[in-house]
Amino acid sequence: MPDDLLNSFKTGPDEKGRFGNFGGRFVSETLMPLILRLDAEYERAKTDPAFWDEMRDLWTHYVGRPSPLYHAARMTERLGGAKIYLKRDELNHTGAHKINNVLGQILLARRMGKERIIAETGAGQHGVATATVCAKFGLKCVVYMGAHDVERQQPNVFRMRLLGAEVVPVTSGRGTLKDAMNDALRDWVTNVRDTFYCIGTVAGPHPYPAMVRDFQSIIGTEAKDQMQAAEGRLPDTIIAAIGGGSNAMGLFHPFLDDRSVRIIGVEAGGKGVDETMQHCASLTGGRPGVLHGNRTYLLQDDDGQILEGFSISAGLDYPGIGPEHAWLHETKRADYVSITDREALAAFTFCCETEGIIPALEPCHALAHVMKIAPELPADHLICMNMCGRGDKDIFTVAKALGVDISKPA
Ligand SMILES: *Cc1c(COP(=O)(O)O)cnc(C)c1O
């Protein structure tokens, strides 16, 4: 191994898909050939310039990349400490980072000659991104969504249907994201020949965690160049919210070997991690186990039963976390903290009022942590936070939390 990679955090996963003790391929024998075929095809695509040329062209003309790196001047002034930059991935087509990954997987599906795309979705953001790209390429799209989530997320269900997708309500288990992912995996095994499974975060069996990370790494790669252009150096702290961990992994990965850069992942603390079990903080409040084909930190009870997460933000509501985060946590290369619903809501209002940006509730968790640390840091400390989604989808939730009835005229 070359010297510069000897102590690198970027070499993982190994050939079995392991990041230290995490990740891997815990799948049934029927699924194994599909996973191996996907892995081989991804390895070929990864080194094919034509694949990345097509990707870059779509990122530019369809998604609207690069997303700006924006100096949040009023926010910086109000907090009175570190200089705050926001990576504006909420400006992407469909309003979040999800499409970066979906485009990559669907280009791969096209190379493999697959004409039917399946996906799981919780809040509906990944389902919408997948339905969008399928419409663009004329592919059949089936989205598995917990029956409970179908009820809670009607606007996104309608969006997916407008885009031509079939939304399948999943009633097994508790009818949430975890169950939707199980059903999608079952569908994949049954419809091997024409179907490609497009996973929405850095979870699942190898190669998904690494592949999704690679597609999302455009976030960190751009941020690094943009910070260099703006400040002539690296940021001191980078920070992102974590559901499964894909937007965070995308921001973090290009910086992993820049040891001067402090890396912070922010989990959803719901009603409080120490006081209650009503949270989604898999790393700060869970322990290792196996779910959806990989070993990672999970929310589980004493018998190893997976628990439902709880958060004001539907997009953070996953009981696991990508295995690479579990490894970065154990190696201490990254720090993981949690933020409560209440703190996230305060950050939401703060962001609207200081910067004229209505953020999604997910990145508000990262912002709430920025609000905690920035005042204590010197003015020349550079923070880069990923603004991974916009808030249009969340205004009803926020109104309810603030006690405002927006169905009636003011
Ligand atoms: C889906 C989503 C998330 C959570 O997913 P990650 O894989 O952790 O990035 C976070 N923010 C937004 C806006 C989302 O849509």
**pLDDT in tens for each of the 410 residues of the chain?**
455 566 899 999 999 999 999 999 999 999 999 999 999 999 999 999 999 999 999 999 999 999 999 999 999 999 999 999 999 999 999 999 999 999 999 999 999 999 999 999 998 999 999 999 999 999 999 999 999 889 888 999 999 999 999 999 999 988 889 999 999 999 999 998 999 999 999 999 999 999 999 999 999 999 999 999 999 999 999 999 999 999 999 999 999 999 999 999 999 999 988 777 788 889 988 999 999 999 999 999 888 888 888 888 888 888 899 999 999 999 999 999 999 999 999 999 999 999 999 999 999 999 999 999 999 999 999 999 999 999 999 999 999 999 999 888 76
CA distances from 142 to 12, 105, 166 (A): 32, 15, 5
pLDDT of residue 4: 56
Report CA(157)–ligand 1 centroid distance (Å). 17
CA distances from 304 to 18, 275, 291 (A): 22, 21, 11
Residue nearest to atom 3 of ligand 1 (CA): 315
For a substitution probing ligand 1, which of 159, 247, 321, 357 has the most ligand atoms within 8 Å of its CB? 247
Residue nearest to atom 2 of ligand 1 (CA): 315
What do you get for the CA distance between the two ends of the chain, in Å?
66
Residues 41, 197: contact at Cβ < 8 Å? no
For the beta sheet containing 262-270, the strands, ordered from the edge strand earlier in sequence to the opposite edge, are: 69-71, 83-87, 382-386, 237-242, 262-270, 335-340
The amino acid sitting at 379 is A
**Secondary structure element (H or E) that encloses residue 142, with its range:** strand 140-146
The model's pTM: 0.97
Comparing C-alpha atoms, which of 272, 277, 322, 315 is closest to residue 123?
315
Q: Point out which residues pair with 263 in neighbouring strands.
A: 238
**Secondary structure element (H or E) that encloses residue 141, with its range:** strand 140-146
Residue nearest to atom 4 of ligand 1 (CA): 243
Pocket of ligand 1 (CB under 6 A): 96, 98, 125, 201, 241-248, 315-316, 360, 362, 388-389
Separation between Cα atoms, residue 313 and residue 267, nearest integer Å: 11
Report CA(388)–ligand 1 centroid distance (Å). 7
Residue nearest to atom 1 of ligand 1 (CA): 315
Comparing C-alpha atoms, which of 238, 241, 243, 249 is closest to residue 213?
249
For a substitution probing ligand 1, which of 67, 86, 98 has the most ligand atoms within 8 Å of its CB? 98
* Structure tokens given for 163: 């885009």
